[in-house]
Amino acid sequence: MSVSAVEESALLLAGTASPNSKIVWYFSRWQSYSCACLFVSVAGTTYAYGIYSTLLKENLGFSQHGLDIVASVGNTGLYLSLLAGLALERYGLQVVVCGGGLLIFLGFLYIWAAVEGLVPANIFSICLFFFLSQFGVCCHVSSSVTYAVRLFPAESRGLSVGLVKGYFGLSSAVLGDFAGGYFANSPSSFLLFVALFVPTVGSVASQFANLLPQHAINFSSEERDSLAPFLTHWGTLFCVLLTIGLLQFNFTLPDYVNSLSASVLVLALFLIVVLPGLYGPRVLKDTNTKSSSTSAAVKKSDGAEEEGEGEEDEEDDDSKVRQGEASKDMAAPCFYGESVPFLEAVSTWRFWSIYLIFLIMCGSGLMVIYNINAIASAAGKSPSTFFVSLISLANGLGRVLAGFISDIASEYLSKIELLSIVVLCMGVTQAFLSIGSGTLLYPCLLSVGFLFGCSVVLTAISTASVYGGRHIATIFGAIDSAAIGGTVILATATIDIFYEEDTCAETKCFRFPFIINSVACIAAFILSSFLSYHTTPTRKESVH
């Protein structure tokens, strides 16, 4: 029975096989990956908090302490990745992205209505809806990382994860330019724009993405295996944002120029939808009779656990893979195997070692990011949004370069060894910041942003290199939640103890917090070196 192109498209979008039972249609790796990069590139509403926090202060009368509470609650929602991971494995990627978009819509719609005086509001209600919106962002980010890990074989996950995280690192700058270009004269309208734009991009893009059937994970099933077009696109977006930021910092631009620059940014951003066409067809058909049922299950649930994959797992000798023997499908087998269950992973000491290392790195990085203008003032510099853009761009650059380097240097350095180097560099940078020198401020801020971005990516791919990609949503989701503890302990508590906002205006203001963070990073370096020593040998023996 023949099937027309229209009927095939309808069957594909419905997630079912065609009447020819041996043919299953699915979106290509590059189509799915481009969609994941697109919806995460506009999701950075948390790091863009400074853009609209002034509205809460001016329109709702919030104090600075109240704004800090709202930011902390939102940050908690952003890092509840374990809940998002559980939802991903239970309901699938498309459902989670659309559900996250709904939460973003409801959260920012309420905040906009509150700022406009349309609904009653207090700090509790704002915290509640901001928390919901940021958990929606968490769903977007967790889904994109899951796509980046599960669409690519182990030897190529570094750059794929790095680019996804890099796009998210630039997203706050993207939203900032949208706000300055289109909503400079109506700041509250930016909240309504976020409520509509971010969920729409995520919900639409997720409908044109899926995971691949298991046999199609390796690059041998496709003509090209290079992420160079995506890397070029990210670099172009980075340059556009940097150029706009430098122009706005050095010159007072008229409104029409800001609007024009925002339009150029929109064009540069959405060029990503063209990239999948460079690799071949956007839609592929799977005629592999052995895996057709698995392919249909993958397309139907799009990430949820399915019986077809469970049966295939039983055919594999997981016990041998978990002992470090080479897998037939992976050039760089994972330490425990490709499909370690969540509960089994959290029962290992390696899981908690990675968790603690990430907690310290997040606390050290976010302490600088959240207090960047106060740190600049203490070092004798005038507060400016330029510092926010500077550290944001460095953050995004670190995420991409860390993924790129981890792939090309995989024969010489493991992911965990690279993470150890980054942790040590963060400790040294925090020590330099404790000096309080205005001369060292700019390079240190660039270094903190860059190293923080590196740690985010290297932690994700280190987790995948140890526990595999099948359950990365829940395993890395649990590790990602360490950022909450890092924020509370190193980014908030140390500041409250040593920094008195009303009286401290000298270089010594942040000295003790920086020293504490530096010592913590040195301890994390020792732990990561120990972890690397007891994890890397199996990788070196298995790589051929």
90-100 pLDDT, tens per residue? Answer: 898 899 999 99
Task: Judge whether 163 and 156 are in contact, CB under 8 Å.
Answer: no
Digit-coded pLDDT (tens) for 230-270: 999 999 999 998 888 788 777 787 888 888 988 999 999 99
Q: Which CATH superfamily is domain 30-207+223-286 in?
A: MFS general substrate transporter like domains (1.20.1250.20)
Digit-coded pLDDT (tens) for 304-313: 544 344 444 4
Return the H-helix or E-strand segment holding 30: helix 29-40
Digit-coded pLDDT (tens) for 87-137: 998 898 899 999 999 999 999 999 999 999 999 999 999 999 999 999 999
Q: What is the pLDDT of residue 189?
A: 92
In 3D, which of 357, 359, 364 has the Cα closest to residue 449? 364
Packing angle, helices 438-467 and 385-408, rounded to 10: 40
Give residue 328's Cα distance to chain centre. 30
Inter-CA distances, 129 with 191, 199, 208, 353, Å: 13, 15, 29, 34
Instruction: Round the average pLDDT of the chain to a whole number and report it.
Output: 80
Joined together, the tokens standing for residue 519 give: 């010592």
Q: What is the pLDDT of residue 288?
A: 61
Task: Judge whether 339 and 470 are in contact, CB under 8 Å.
Answer: yes
pTM: 0.80
Task: Judge whether 142 and 473 are in contact, CB under 8 Å.
Answer: yes
482 against 498, higher pLDDT: 482
Inter-CA distances, 179 with 49, 175, 186, 234, 244, Å: 12, 6, 9, 21, 13
What percent of the chain lies above the pLDDT cut of 70?
77
Q: Spelled out in words, what is the top-level CATH class assigned to the domain 329-536?
A: mainly alpha
Return the H-helix or E-strand segment holding 110: helix 93-115
CA distance 411 to 425: 22
Half-sphere exposure of 133 (CA within 13 A, CB side): 33
Q: Is 285 helix (H, G, I), strand (E, B) or coil?
A: strand
Alpha-carbon dihedral sign for residues 26, 338, 158, 332: negative
Query: Hey, do 30-207+223-286 and 329-536 end up sharing a CATH topology, with the first three levels equal?
Result: yes
Task: Judge whether 388 and 326 are in contact, CB under 8 Å.
Answer: no
Digit-coded pLDDT (tens) for 192-241: 999 999 999 999 999 999 987 767 666 654 544 588 899 999 999 999 98
Q: SS in 3 state form for 128-154? A: HHHHHHHHHHHHHHHHHHHHHHHCCCH
**Residue 515 reports pLDDT greater than 60:** yes
222 against 370, higher pLDDT: 370
Domains of the chain, by residue range, sit at 30-207+223-286, 329-536
Average pLDDT of the segment spanning 407-435 = 90
Q: How many C-beta neighbours within 10 Å does residue 64 have?
A: 10
Q: Is 24 helix (H, G, I), strand (E, B) or coil?
A: strand
Q: How confident is the model at residue 349 (pLDDT cuts 50, 70, 90)?
A: very high
Q: How confident is the model at residue 416 (pLDDT cuts 50, 70, 90)?
A: very high
Digit-coded pLDDT (tens) for 10-39: 334 434 444 444 567 889 889 999 999 999
Task: Judge whether 389 and 484 are in contact, CB under 8 Å.
Answer: no
What does the buried/exposed string (b/e) look like for 442-481 if buried means 16 or more CB atoms within 10 Å of the residue's CB? Answer: eebbbbbbbbbbbbbbbbbbbbbbbbbbbbbbbbbbbbbb
Task: Judge whether 513 and 495 are in contact, CB under 8 Å.
Answer: yes
What percent of the chain lies above the pLDDT cut of 90?
39
Q: What is the pLDDT of residue 225?
A: 54
Task: Judge whether 459 and 402 are in contact, CB under 8 Å.
Answer: no
- What proportions of the chain, in percent to the nearest 5, are helix, strand and coil? 75, 0, 25
In 3D, which of 127, 128, 109, 134 has the Cα closest to residue 119? 109
